[in-house]
A and B are shown apart, each in its own frame.
Chain A
Amino acid sequence: MLNRTRALNIARSSRSIKKLELVSTLQAGKLARFSKYGKAMGTGVVAIDFASRIGNVQTTYKADGNWERELFVESSSFTLSALAGTATAKAGVAFFVVATPVGWVGLIVVAAATALGTNYIVKEKSGGWYDDIMDWVSSL
């Protein structure tokens, strides 16, 4: 990285870090690290979560259970909990929770808790939706 222009160009073409033009370099470093961790961790967590959901569907299938119903429950709770978590994080950022003592960590914890909670209630209720939809389809 001896050539400054080249370093700058590389930084500019990356989609994640360059967007931070922060006033203090300390904050820039913190945010960039946070954003990196967020990306890596986010993908990892999603991968683990996804695998466990597929596992649940497969277990149900192996046990001769209603695996289509399980698939419906798992996929809808996955989507909805992701949406609720994102909405929480975005709202927190918009209301500048990050600038208060609650900070980034608090925001992440709250967003994760919302996602888990939404996941829980959707899992509990969506089986009933599936049954209703199936009843409706078979009554046509």
Chain B
Amino acid sequence: MSFSALLAIFAVVAFISMALYIIFGQVTVRKLRKNPATKHALGIEFASGWDIVNVAGALALPKMVAQKIKRNSVSMGLGQGFEADPNLLYKHTTRFDRLLARLFYWSWASSGFGLIALTLAYFLFGFGQN
């Protein structure tokens, strides 16, 4: 398969994940932002909308992994508010929210890492350079 075709596949997945990002943000994260119980448990917001990715990660990764990430961030001295709190978010989300989180997060992560890998392959190893 050519480099261009491989890149196009990741591009299609990326576009789907962008659509899911908007949907997940509007359906689930909006609700969590309004809820006083979860309002402050959505993780840090470096740029507007960053908390959407935090929440998706907390709900989409296996619970053990999400909890470990949260614990590690606290023990690194980054504070309670740095990562989203998976335990609290599980209590305040429905199965549908979590399904949406998983769909978004994994399409986002796979296309993101695909793009990073192809960028590295292009510049470091010269794949796809004509």
- Residues of A at the B interface (CB closer than 8 Å) are 12, 15-16, 18-24, 27-28, 31, 35, 38-39, 42-43, 76, 79-80, 83-84, 86-91, 94, 96, 98-99, 114, 117-118, 121-122, 125-126, 128-129
Bound-state CA distance A21–B73 (Å) is 12
By a CB distance below 8 angstroms, the chain A residues around B81 are 18-21
Across the interface, name the chain A residue whose C-beta is closest to B128. Answer: A121
Q: Is the interface of B mostly helix, strand, loop or mixed?
A: helix
A59 CB to nearest B CB, Å: 24
In chain B, positions 92-108 with a C-beta closer than 8 Å to chain A are: 108
The verdict on B79 contacting chain A, using a C-beta distance below 8 Å, is yes
Q: With A20-B44, A23-B79, A87-B112 known to touch, is A125 a contact of B69 (CB < 8 Å)?
A: no
By a CB distance below 8 angstroms, the chain B residues around A98 are 78
Q: Are the CB atoms of B79 and A38 closer together than 8 Å?
A: no
How many CB-defined contacts (below 8 Å) exist between A and B?
A: 116
- Residues of B at the A interface (CB closer than 8 Å) are 3-4, 7-8, 10-11, 14-15, 17-18, 33, 40, 42-48, 51, 53, 57, 69, 72-73, 76-82, 108-109, 111-113, 115-116, 118-120, 122-123, 128
Q: Are the CB atoms of B45 and A15 closer together than 8 Å?
A: yes
12 additional A-B pairs beyond A79-B15, A118-B116, A121-B119, beta carbons within 8 Å, are A15-B33, A15-B45, A19-B42, A19-B44, A20-B81, A21-B79, A31-B79, A42-B46, A79-B18, A117-B119, A118-B119, A125-B7
